[in-house]
Amino acid sequence: MATDREISRLENIFGAMSLALVDKMEKAFADETGLGPSAIAAIVQIGTEPGLTIETLRRLIALSHSATVRLVDQLVTSDLVLRAGGVEGDKRARSLQLTESGRTLFDKSLAARRAVIHRAFKTLEPEETEQLGRLAEKLLPALVDLGDDQDVVCRVCDQGVCDQDRCPITVMT
């Protein structure tokens, strides 16, 4: 049985590992795309779900409405995002789509994310990877609050490889 000190040390390592992973991903995003974390989250969300409105995007990337509008304006000016036609039910709301350049950045962003995570995982043996998977599926729901937090935590996830039937976050509800 682990002592309180051993548990505290493990919690400390887990916190440091979590921050290192985020820091390395944000650096990889910036190196690959020249964009910051909020812009990458917007590109990933729009690429994952074309047709999002600014309001939905705002909720998914945890920015204020005005900050999301400014971000989308910058992405439109950079020819990464298009504001398409009105959305059913609210003709004032414009659906967001990636341009060809935006789609390229979407692919680069997910590849950069995979490379960072692969760097960590390649140090594990196959059985350790399986064990870590089981533990992560158990720990993640404890870190996520029901509601918008469930979407925000997945803001740069590769939804193409996510098994929604086994997602530890959506299973919470």
> CA–CA separation, 94 vs 85, rounded Å?
6
Residue 43: CB atoms within 10 A of its CB come to 27
pLDDT digits (tens, 9 = 90+) for 110-138: 999 999 999 999 999 999 999 999 999 89
- Determine phi and psi for 124, rounding to 5 degrees: -95, 150
pLDDT, average across residues 29-51: 95
Q: Which two tokens stand for residue 122?
A: 């390649």
pLDDT, average across residues 157-169: 80
> CA–CA separation, 26 vs 40, rounded Å?
9
Task: Give the pLDDT band (50/70/90) at residue 156.
Answer: confident
Write down the pTM of the prediction: 0.87
> CA–CA separation, 159 vs 42, rounded Å?
14
**Closest of 57, 9, 35, 32 to residue 110, by C-alpha:** 32
Q: What was the pLDDT predicted at 94?
A: 82
Question: Beta strand pairing status for 90-98 and 81-87?
Answer: antiparallel
Say if residues 49 and 97 touch (Cβ distance below 8 Å). no
Say if residues 10 and 135 touch (Cβ distance below 8 Å). no
Task: Give the pLDDT band (50/70/90) at residue 153.
Answer: confident
- Which of the residue ranges 9-13, 45-49, 70-74, 89-93 would you say has the lowest mean pLDDT? 89-93
Could you give the C-alpha distances from 171 to 43, 130, 149, 159, in angstroms and in order?
26, 19, 14, 15
